[in-house]
Amino acid sequence: MTTILTNAIVVTMDDALAVHEFGWVRVDGTTITALGAGRPPDVPGAEIVDCAGDIVMPGMVNAHCHMAMSVFRGLGEDVDDRLYRYILPLERKFVSPEMVRAGSALSALEMIQGGVTTVADMYYFETEVGDVCAEAGLRAIVGQTLADFDPPDHRNFDEGFGRVEELVDRYKDHPLVTPSIAPHAPYSTGRDVMARIAQWSADHPQVPVQMHLAESTLEVKWALDTHGKSTVTVTAESGLLKPNLICAHCLQLDDNDIRLMSEHQVCVVTNPRSNGKAGRGIAPVEKMRNAGLPAGIGSDGAMSGNTLDLFSQFAPVSMFAKLLAGSRKPLPAVDVIRMATIEGARALSLNLKTGSLEVGKQADLIRINLSAPRLHPMYDPYSALVFAAMPSDVTDTMVAGRWLMRNGQVQTLDVGKAVSDAVGIAAQFKSEMARIDGQ
């Protein structure tokens, strides 16, 4: 099956940053087999998609998410102690395979609509997340979380490892879904268990590791009080800092931490809206990138960042870099789009498969309609994508040659069911919150 997208502004995000005006992309099966500008090849029987001057670009990489948590979206907004007051009690009471499936389906839907084609997730009952992504057709890294705070799906780390093994067995050979192990954070795993995970990881080099790192001042205090060192140093000593480690948040870092992370070639993900909304601080994204760390952009869970597209993160990630430097210059728009595509893919070690439009790569791409007046005039497509485009401009989403959304219609999920399942769970949460508030 051959599909040729024609008459598009093809933003490739290849090394040369080639942009083909009046461009075309040829897809055979799951793979990009040719692309260029001008007259597309004449392939008998091919489906021709006239993109009418729209942008075609790589699908975006949401490099840190908790998909199941969309059922918490906006819950306890602005409440300082909402984690302990509402969220942990609700998680203990309600997190189940069914809830994880419902929240993940709503999130998959939103991401497909918003132009995300690859997501890195970590939560509980993660086989369910893998199942939802596989059905929805999303490329995904699904990470089983391990933590010591009586999480919903394991009573101790041995049980947690059992969940990880189950996940790896299920998805080790899947074309779209990659299993992952996800120590929650240094303070909620502890140095010894981190060392155990590092050992397990050495035996499973194909399994990426995901972890929250240096997210809060409380974590910094834990590391200092417990080990007299920075949280990054403690993590390094555990053996976890390796090229297959994906570190989310990365807020509370000093230059020595960044040097350590760079020496061990870890990958990082910034979650600007989540961090900003929590008042937690601004990640030193330019410092990390200048130290050679591949940096992706994540939405975090919808409880923290509310929306799961990357457009919502673009202005924040850009403004934060410019505010840190006191100048308009840092992190130019093209670098934001890099982070959202090829650099995000590199941070997830998926850059040989996705993140740019190049021959031989998987056909993970999106089409962006340019009819909105706010997108004009357009002096530079990267600026328009970063500062004016919105998820509602995405009309088509393809992963591995399969249309997940076509002309604004999601093909692989039932929109009505996804929304109503999530609303049903939220009704239970609201009752429980009323009970908590009435205590």
22, 281, 286, 291: which one binds a second copy (CB under 8 A): 281
Q: Report the alpha-carbon distance of residue 201 to residue 238 in Å, rounded.
A: 12
Please state the three-class secondary structure of 344-409 as a single string. Answer: HHHHCCCCCCCCCCCCCCECCEEEECCCCHHHCCCCCHHHHHHHCCCHHHEEEEEECCEEEEECCE
The site map against a second copy for 335-374 (x = CB under 8 A) is -------------------------------------xxx
Pick the binder of a second copy from 148, 239, 276, 287 (CB under 8 A). Answer: 276
**173 burial class (0-12, 13-18, 19+ CB within 10 angstroms)?**
exposed
Residue 71, interface with a second copy (CB under 8 A)? yes
Using rule CB under 8 A, residue 380 touches a second copy: yes
Residue 378 binds a second copy, judged by CB under 8 A: yes
296 vs 181: CA distance, rounded Å:
18
Length of the chain: 439
Between 183 and 298, CB nearer to a second copy: 298
Q: Where are the beta strands (DSSP E) in 225-335?
A: 245-249, 267-270, 295-297
Residue of the chain from 53, 74, 162, 243 that contacts a second copy (CB under 8 A):
74
Amino acid at residue number 177: V
Compute the least distance from the CB of residue 111 to a second copy, in Å.
Answer: 10
Structure tokens at 176: 């779209």
Nearer to a second copy, 317 or 345 (CB): 317
> Which window, 14-22, 23-31, 74-82, 259-267, contacts a second copy (CB under 8 A)?
74-82
Residues 387-426 that bind a second copy (CB under 8 A): 387-388, 390-392, 415, 418-419, 422-423, 425-426
Distance of CA 1 to the CA centre of its chain: 30
- 51 to 11, 32, 231, 274: CA distances (angstroms): 13, 17, 49, 34
User: Does 242 sit near a second copy (CB under 8 A)?
Assistant: no
Q: Which residues bind a second copy (CB under 8 A)?
A: 71, 73-80, 82, 106, 109-110, 113-114, 273, 276-282, 302, 306-309, 312, 315-316, 318-320, 322-323, 325-330, 332-333, 372-374, 376-380, 382-384, 387-388, 390-392, 415, 418-419, 422-423, 425-426, 429-430
